[in-house]
């Protein structure tokens, strides 16, 4: 089990670290390659929407055929997208790169690997174990953001992007042993989920049941805000800080701090999710993120306030992962986990798309990010309200069938 956690954590760490460091390339690409902020922002936005749209299908393929072929294929697509950004600077080339990166991220980020870990973990330890693996996704940002900035400063953005592509391709090596480990662990009777296996319902029926569940819809809509806020920050915070007269190195340090504090925050929320209401913890994450954004904008922008803001946001960054996956697994079971998680995550990525694209459009038209920050705040409060009111009880059909059990208050 420990080896599975290490391998899964390494893949997620590389995937998320590279993805969350792409904002560092926007400024040099606009100067050296003539790429506009709107064009770059749209490519990142496209990556996020493709990630979301393909996540249910990638998850379904992993549920059916196992994780290893999906991981290997998507890791190679990820690396190919980064290489394309080096050699094609036009809108079409960047959009194709964003498309490849989106599919690559759908396979190598949380959806597939969290499903593998969830199935291999006893229910009593599931929340904290998923929190541990999700937390590892921040270690990559902590290392790769400063590394990327250093490579850009010393060698230029193109060699830096090639180096990132090589790092992306290394995910293939970590994926090779995962199939065997997953088979061995799932064959262990102490880890079996008999109640889930007994349900054995068709995928179409499981989707219909979930989409008709008010709580599932509320959680899905609230997840939009998560992607909207976080991708706006990773994509546009470096440019915003330069407008405020902050040195470029502070941006990389801020992204690294987000990764560092997220490591502790995500694991902490995984532990809390094993003891307290997961829907209320999710709601508090949305509320606290929004309040931190308000506080950051109210105080004078400086290197110190930026790093404090990054640490605060990092603590809340991926804490949603063990909570969302915990709710899905407990309310709907694990048989079609990859697909159901993928549908929820699609909402997250629609938010990511608009967060990245909207930021670029607002800045291109107004020369300011003020309206964009206001949108982040409004959507954050809406997400808090939806998540707090979510119905966390299993569907009535599942209760009659003896499937998933109600969540304790």
Euclidean distance between CA atoms 131 and 17, whole angstroms? 17
Share of the chain above pLDDT 90, in %: 38
Taking 60 as the threshold, does the pLDDT of residue 185 lie above it?
Answer: no
- Predicted TM-score (pTM) of this structure: 0.75
Read off the tokens for 175.
């994926």
Q: What is the mean pLDDT of residues 226-248?
A: 88
Would 405 be classed as within a structural domain?
A: no
Domain membership flag for residue 157? yes
For the cut 90, the answer to whether the pLDDT of residue 198 exceeds it is: no
CA distance 106 to 51: 5
Q: How confident is the model at residue 287 (pLDDT cuts 50, 70, 90)?
A: very high
Neighbours of 188 (CB within 10 A): 11
Give the tens place of pLDDT for each residue, 268-285: 998 999 889 999 999 999
What pLDDT is stored for residue 286 in this prediction?
A: 97
CATH of residue 361: 1.20.1250.20
Q: Is residue 177 domain-resident?
A: yes
Buried b (16+ CB within 10 A) or exposed e, 266-283: bbbbbebbbeebbbbbbb
* DSSP states along 206-260: HHHHHHT-HHHHHHHHHHHHHHHHHHHHHHHHHHHHHHTT--HHHHHHHHHHHHH
In a domain, 122, yes or no: yes
384 and 283 Cβ atoms separated by less than 8 Å: yes
Give the pLDDT confidence of 8-35 residue by residue, as tens digits.
Answer: 889 998 998 898 788 888 888 888 878 8
Element (H, E) at 400: helix 396-400
Q: Is 322 exposed, middle or buried (0-12, 13-18, 19+ CB in 10 A)?
A: buried
Q: Residue 73's pLDDT is what?
A: 95
pLDDT tens per residue across span 35-53:
887 888 888 888 878 988 8
Residue 29 lies in a domain: yes
Is 288 a domain residue? yes
The lowest-confidence range among 33-42, 87-96, 236-245, 400-409 is 400-409
The 10s digit of each residue's pLDDT in 354-404 is: 888 888 888 888 888 999 999 999 999 999 999 999 998 888 755 544 444
Name 268's Cβ contacts closer than 8 Å, sequence gap at least 6.
Answer: 131, 315, 319
67 close to 8: Cβ distance less than 8 angstroms: no
Average pLDDT of 101-105?
A: 94
Q: How far apart are alpha carbons 241 and 251 in whole angstroms?
A: 7
Higher-scoring residue by pLDDT: 204, 182: 204
In a domain, 120, yes or no: yes
Q: Give the model's confidence band at 3: pLDDT under 50 very low, under 70 low, under 90 confident, else very high.
A: confident
Average pLDDT of every residue of the chain: 85
What pLDDT does 202 receive?
A: 80
Identify whether 94 is part of a domain: yes
Counting the structural domains of the chain, the total is 1
Q: Residues 157, 162, 167, CA angle at the centre, nearest 5°? A: 120
Give the CA diameter of the chain.
63
| Predicted confidence (pLDDT) at residue 223 exceeds the cutoff of 80 | yes
**Where in the sequence is the domain holding 333, given as residue range(s)?**
2-400
Instruction: Tell me if 262 sits within 8 A of 317, measured CB to CB.
Output: yes
Quick one: pLDDT at residue 193? 46
Helix axes 278-298, 303-316, angle to 10 degrees: 170
pLDDT of residue 191: 46
pLDDT at 406 over 50: no
Q: What angle do CA 125, 13, 43 make, to 5 degrees?
A: 125
């Amino acid at each position: 089990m420990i080896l599975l956690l290490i391998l899964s954590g390494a893949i997620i760490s590389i995937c998320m670290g590279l993805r969350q460091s792409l904002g560092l390339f926007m400024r040099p690409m606009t100067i050296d390659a003539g790429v506009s902020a709107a064009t770059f922002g749209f490519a990142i936005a496209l990556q996020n929407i493709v990630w979301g749209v393909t996540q249910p299908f990638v998850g379904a393929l992993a549920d059916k055929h196992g994780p290893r072929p999906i991981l290997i294929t998507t890791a190679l697509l990820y690396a190919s997208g980064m290489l394309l950004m080096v050699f094609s600077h036009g809108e079409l080339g960047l959009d194709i790169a964003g498309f490849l990166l989106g599919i690559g991220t759908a396979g190598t980020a949380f959806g597939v690997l969290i499903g593998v870990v969830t199935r291999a973990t006893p229910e009593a330890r599931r929340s904290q174990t998923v929190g541990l693996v999700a937390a590892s996704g921040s270690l990559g940002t902590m290392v790769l953001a400063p590394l990327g900035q250093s490579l850009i400063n010393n060698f230029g953005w193109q060699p830096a992007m090639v180096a990132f592509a090589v790092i992306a391709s290394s995910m293939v090596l970590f994926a090779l042993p995962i199939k065997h480990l997953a088979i061995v662990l799932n064959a262990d009777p102490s880890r079996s989920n008999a109640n889930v296996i007994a349900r054995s319902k068709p995928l179409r029926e499981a989707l219909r049941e979930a989409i008709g569940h008010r709580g599932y819809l509320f959680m899905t809509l609230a997840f939009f805000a998560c992607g909207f806020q976080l991708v706006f920050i990773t994509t546009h915070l470096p440019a915003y800080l330069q407008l405020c007269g902050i040195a470029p190195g502070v941006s990389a340090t801020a992204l690294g701090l987000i990764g560092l504090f997220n490591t502790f925050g995500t694991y902490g929320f995984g532990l809390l999710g094993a003891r307290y209401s997961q829907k209320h913890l999710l709601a508090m994450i949305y509320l606290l993120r929004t309040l931190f954004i308000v506080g950051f904008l109210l105080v004078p922008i400086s290197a110190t306030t930026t790093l404090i803001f990054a640490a605060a946001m990092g603590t809340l960054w991926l804490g949603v992962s063990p909570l969302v996956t915990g709710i899905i697994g407990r309310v709907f079971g694990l048989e079609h986990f990859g697909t159901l998680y993928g549908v929820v995550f699609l909402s997250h990525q629609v938010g990511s798309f608009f967060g990245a694209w909207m930021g670029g459009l607002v800045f291109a038209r107004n020369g300011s990010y003020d309206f964009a920050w206001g949108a982040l705040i409004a959507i954050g409060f809406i997400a808090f309200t939806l998540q707090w009111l979510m119905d966390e009880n299993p569907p009535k059909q599942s209760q009659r069938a003896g499937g998933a059990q109600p969540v304790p208050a």
